């Protein structure tokens, strides 16, 4: 998931923070098979986005992106990416090549990029971007990149419900995130002038944000493995019974879309 973010006057992160996230990344960068947040997110998109047409898709905050190859390979899109971290952008270029996909990736501040590329794209996506800017300020420039009839896809982590525990144990996490719930995310899309907005909680219970704390990592991994096995069993049972278990209390994230008139 590429989530290095262009620093503007309302950014909650800086370039050094994101550069440190990609230092140990190794190619190829792919989404683990069966990853709950990805399975749910891309199912949601396939049910709503045109597939198999050569549409232009831009991922904003695309550093070390595992999602751009999915859009190129599975959706048939012409893919572009922008990120302000040079190393993260280079990882994305090399990853596309490694996976046999074509794409154009630029290293730039996305606010500046949006001013130069207004109205150029059919689909704009971001995975873990908008929550690093206060006041919903990332949404209008994202929407400005769309052609009329284009669609904005936005994924953000769910740091409410049971995941509030991570905020309590990791104060730095709150400092770098605006905490959205799904209604607030949809209102932000509408505030950027988008229509037909809808969204869904995606993914399963995870200790991802707690295992990022070095002191707890070794202690929590066995528990995370047990939770993963329980999630797999629960999701299999829910599919068999046609139940939807994604919710604000347990889900790892949320996905939303909005259309430009």
Q: At 255, is the pLDDT very low, low, confident or very high (cuts 50, 70, 90)?
A: very high
- Domain hosting 211: range is 206-245
In 3D space, the residue among 256, 156, 144 whose CA is nearest the CA of residue 193 turns out to be 144
Backbone φ, ψ for residue 257 (5° rounding): -140, 155
Residue at 231 is within a domain = yes
Q: Are residues 59 and 104 in the same domain?
A: yes
Q: Which pTM value belongs to this model?
A: 0.84
Q: Are residues 44 and 57 in the same domain?
A: yes
Q: At 219, is the pLDDT very low, low, confident or very high (cuts 50, 70, 90)?
A: low
Spatial separation of the C-alpha atoms in residues 50 and 157, rounded to whole Å: 25
pLDDT the model gives residue 33: 80
Residue at 85 is within a domain = yes
Residue at 174 is within a domain = yes
39-62 residue pLDDT tens: 899 999 999 998 878 899 999 999
Residue at 9 is within a domain = no
pLDDT the model gives residue 229: 58
Which whole number is the average pLDDT over 10-16?
A: 69
Q: Are residues 195 and 221 in the same domain?
A: no
Spatial separation of the C-alpha atoms in residues 133 and 142, rounded to whole Å: 12
Residue at 1 is within a domain = no
120-176 residue pLDDT tens: 999 999 999 999 999 999 999 999 999 999 999 999 999 888 778 777 777 777 788
Spatial separation of the C-alpha atoms in residues 155 and 162, rounded to whole Å: 19
DSSP 8-state symbol, 9: T
Residue at 175 is within a domain = yes
Q: Are residues 168 and 190 in the same domain?
A: yes
CATH assignment at residue 169:
3.40.50.150
| Higher-pLDDT residue of 94, 176 | 94
Residue at 225 is within a domain = yes
Q: Are residues 224 and 117 in the same domain?
A: no
H or E, element range at 36: helix 36-46
Q: Are residues 46 and 174 in the same domain?
A: yes
Q: Are residues 64 and 77 in the same domain?
A: yes
Number of domains in the chain: 2
Q: Are residues 213 and 133 in the same domain?
A: no
Q: Are residues 35 and 133 in the same domain?
A: yes
Is the pLDDT assigned to residue 5 strictly greater than 50? Answer: no
């Amino acid at each position: 998931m590429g989530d290095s973010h262009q620093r503007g006057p309302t950014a909650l992160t800086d370039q050094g923070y994101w550069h440190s996230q990609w230092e140990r990344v190794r190619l190829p960068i792919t989404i683990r098979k069966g990853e709950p947040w990805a399975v749910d997110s891309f199912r949601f998109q396939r049910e709503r986005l045109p597939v198999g047409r050569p549409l232009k898709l831009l991922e904003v905050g695309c550093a070390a992106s595992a999602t751009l190859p999915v859009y190129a390979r599975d959706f048939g899109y012409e893919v572009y990416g922008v990120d302000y971290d040079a190393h993260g952008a280079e990882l994305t270029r090399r990853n596309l090549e490694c996976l046999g996909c074509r794409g154009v990736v630029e290293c730039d501040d996305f606010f500046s990029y949006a001013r130069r590329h207004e109205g150029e794209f059919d689909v704009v996506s971001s995975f873990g971007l908008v929550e690093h800017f206060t006041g919903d300020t990332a949404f209008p420039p994202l929407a400005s990149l769309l052609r009329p009839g284009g669609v904005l896809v936005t994924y953000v982590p769910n740091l409410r419900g049971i995941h509030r525990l991570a905020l309590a144990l990791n104060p730095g996490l709150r400092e770098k995130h605006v905490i959205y719930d799904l209604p607030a995310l949809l209102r932000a899309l509408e505030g950027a002038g988008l229509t037909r907005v809808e969204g869904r909680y995606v993914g399963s219970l995870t200790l991802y944000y707690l295992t990022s704390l070095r002191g707890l990592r070794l202690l929590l991994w066995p528990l995370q493995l047990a939770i993963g096995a329980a999630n797999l069993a629960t999701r299999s049972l829910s599919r068999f019974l046609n139940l939807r278990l994604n919710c604000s209390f347990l889900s790892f994230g949320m996905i939303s879309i909005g259309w430009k008139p």
